[in-house]
Amino acid sequence: MESQNEAGKAEKEAKRAWYVIHTYSGYENKVKTDLESKVHSAGMENKIFNVVVPTEDVVEEANGRRKVVKRKIFPGYVLVDMIVNPRSWYVVRNTTGVTGFVGSDNKEPIPLTDAEAQRILGSMGETEKRPVLDVEVGDSVRITSGSFENFTARVSTIDMEKGRLTVLAEMFGGSETPVELGFDEVEKI
């Protein structure tokens, strides 16, 4: 008898895996909180074990000051460590803000491989140094590296998320050429 129970337990444990759920962007933390609350109130702690919003620490520098901020690694997605059965699937799927499981098409969801889960979870907490530049569109900057080193340019667009900006570099005939650069490749004049 004991060996059958152990086999059944091993089978259930083998189904335990990390799944990715899609949420409305910006609602990841609310989905995490609501799902954890539903799991507790429904007594599903033995089927839904962990809910994680993958984040990383990013060091931003502005005006010589360093600041560590948390950034979502996958905006719009939440990881759930669970055993899928009809009831646990229903609890997750019907949490406010959840639009569905990634890769499921309303069928049984596809789990992450162990390697994928470890790579994502392992990258959390690692600190990435991201330069921040204190400039606005229209400001003049000097290009500090690359083919256009020492050229003066005017900022055209800024992408804070990617840490890049487009500048209009003045060329030989006075014409302006758009150049995309990283924040660490320019300095404000």
Domains of the chain: 2-130 (3.30.70.940), 133-188 (2.30.30.30)
Instruction: List 175's β-bridge partners, or say none.
Output: none
Among 4, 14, 9, which Cα is nearest to 83's? 14
**Residue type at position 143:** I
Q: Is the predicted pLDDT of residue 72 greater than 60, yes or no?
A: yes
Q: What does the block give as tokens for 102?
A: 């990634």
Q: Is 126 exposed, middle or buried (0-12, 13-18, 19+ CB in 10 A)?
A: exposed
Instruction: Check if the beta carbon of residue 169 is closer than 8 Å to that of residue 157.
Output: no
Backbone angles phi, psi at 59, to 5 degrees: -90, 120
Among 73, 184, 168, which Cα is nearest to 132's? 184
Q: What are 84-133's pLDDT values in tens digits?
A: 999 999 999 999 999 999 987 767 788 999 888 888 888 775 545 556 67
46 pLDDT band, cuts 50/70/90, is very high
Q: How far apart are CA 167 and CA 177, in angstroms?
A: 8
Higher pLDDT, 126 or 52: 52
Backbone angles phi, psi at 138, to 5 degrees: 100, -15
Q: How far apart are CA 116 and CA 28, in angstroms?
A: 20
Q: Which long-range contacts (CB under 8 A, 24 or more apart) does 152-156 make?
A: 152/189, 153/179, 153/186
Per-residue confidence (pLDDT) for residue 10, from 0 to 100: 40
Task: Give the helix/strand (H/E) hosting 57.
Answer: strand 55-62
